[in-house]
Amino acid sequence: MSKRKERGFEHPLSSEITPRAVYEQRRDWLRWMAAGGAGAALAAWAGREAFAQAAPPGKLPPLPGARSTVPGAVTMDKPTAYEDVSGYNNFYEFGTDKEDPARHAQALKTRPWTVVVEGEVRKPGTFDLDALLKLAPMEERTYRLRCVEGWSMVIPWVGYSLAELIRRVEPTGNAKYVEFHTLADPKQMPGLRSRVLDWPYVEGLRMDEAMQPLTLLAFGLYGEVLPKQNGAPLRLVVPWKYGFKSAKSIARIRFVEKQPTTAWMKSAPQEYGFYSNVNPEVDHPRWSQATERRIGEDGLFARKRRTLMFNGYEAQVGSLYAGMDLRRFF
């Protein structure tokens, strides 16, 4: 996400993503050396995958899920290595550098945890995490995640459709949008000292987007509970929208009549709209969105991928936006 220093915006240009590539190259090199240098050269040529850790280290409690049958829920793209999924994160409550969340989120207390559900629903309430874990069967879904900064990953999530929870709280006819408020506790989250955003982190969806079966309430990834830096104990994942719509560590879900103002809209309204659908034809005001760097593929043999309309989920979600001017409703 953009880097806004204390005052005024200071977003990274796409060229600023380069240090990541340099870092990757150095890491590739170190791995190559560690693996025996020349002896491992063949494997290194075969790709960085030879060294990347594809499975979790098994330190977190298991959270298995049955393979999802929701259309579009399992991409054939190769999952991003666990160490990248859990080591290269945006979670500004813990700092703005990519390594900050893994470093600073470990102190986050994820139990007990409750989620308040309120607003335009017939059955509002406070849901305990254990009740939410049992609310519907867990599914494994492998989604592409495209960050607005121009990188992407492929992550095997565990969770269930947000629609399962929405149906149980019985929205009224006035519920047109859903707002997500995430935890903002200065005692646990050192990043709140920075005014990079107006905390708490707030996101929102239109009701039909929230009900779309791909919209996931995720509790785990790679068959284990979520690492804290990935938004434990529960987060949203909306695969056809830029990653910032996928709010982490949700504490409150509110059903409302008016379109919410999200934290990013407040911070930079010209740059971040409410919809934020992945769209290679609508550039960010300061960089192109036409291509992306897949994390794990940006080593010595860097190549960019073409970004797909709705991040490749057009068949499933395109109809939600029929007739809308996607440049205006960005």
Identify which of residues 44 and 202 has a Cβ nearer to ligand MTE in the complex.
Answer: 202
* Helix, strand, coil tally for the chain in percent (to 5): 30, 20, 50
Rounded to the nearest 5 degrees, what angle is found at the Cα of 161, between the Cα atoms of 211 and 262? 60
CA distances from 24 to 28, 31, 41, 78 (A): 6, 10, 17, 18
Identify which of residues 36 and 285 has a Cβ nearer to ligand MTE in the complex.
Answer: 285
> In what helix (H) or strand (E) does residue 130 lie, and over which residues does it extend?
helix 129-134
The CB-of-302 to ligand MTE minimum distance in angstroms stands at 20
- CA neighbor of 215 nearest in space, from 184, 246, 169: 246
**Positions that interact with ligand MTE (CB under 6 A):** 1, 89-93, 145, 147, 182, 201, 230-231, 243-244, 246-249
The CB-of-31 to ligand MTE minimum distance in angstroms stands at 22
φ, ψ (nearest 5 deg) of residue 44: -65, -40
- Using CB atoms, what's the residue nearest to ligand MTE? 243
Q: Are 112 and 37 spatial neighbours (Cβ–Cβ below 8 Å)?
A: no
Identify which of residues 92 and 275 has a Cβ nearer to ligand MTE in the complex.
Answer: 92
The CB-of-46 to ligand MTE minimum distance in angstroms stands at 26
| Chain Cα centroid distance, residue 219 | 12
The CB-of-91 to ligand MTE minimum distance in angstroms stands at 5
The CB-of-207 to ligand MTE minimum distance in angstroms stands at 21
The CB-of-49 to ligand MTE minimum distance in angstroms stands at 19
Q: Which two tokens stand for residue 123?
A: 């059955």
Spatial CB neighbours of 146, under 8 Å, sequence gap ≥ 6: 152, 242, 243, 278, 292, 307, 311
Identify which of residues 1 and 225 has a Cβ nearer to ligand MTE in the complex.
Answer: 1
CA distances from 100 to 80, 92, 125 (A): 19, 8, 34
Spatial CB neighbours of 75, under 8 Å, sequence gap ≥ 6: 142, 143, 144, 154, 312
Identify which of residues 185 and 314 has a Cβ nearer to ligand MTE in the complex.
Answer: 185
Q: Across the strands, what pairs with 87?
A: none
> In what helix (H) or strand (E) does residue 100 lie, and over which residues does it extend?
helix 100-104
Identify which of residues 122 and 187 has a Cβ nearer to ligand MTE in the complex.
Answer: 187
Identify which of residues 32 and 219 has a Cβ nearer to ligand MTE in the complex.
Answer: 219
The CB-of-248 to ligand MTE minimum distance in angstroms stands at 3
**Alpha-carbon radius of gyration of the chain:** 19
φ, ψ (nearest 5 deg) of residue 197: -135, 165
Identify which of residues 145 and 163 has a Cβ nearer to ligand MTE in the complex.
Answer: 145
Q: Are 114 and 125 spatial neighbours (Cβ–Cβ below 8 Å)?
A: no
The CB-of-182 to ligand MTE minimum distance in angstroms stands at 4
The CB-of-36 to ligand MTE minimum distance in angstroms stands at 32
Identify which of residues 104 and 248 has a Cβ nearer to ligand MTE in the complex.
Answer: 248
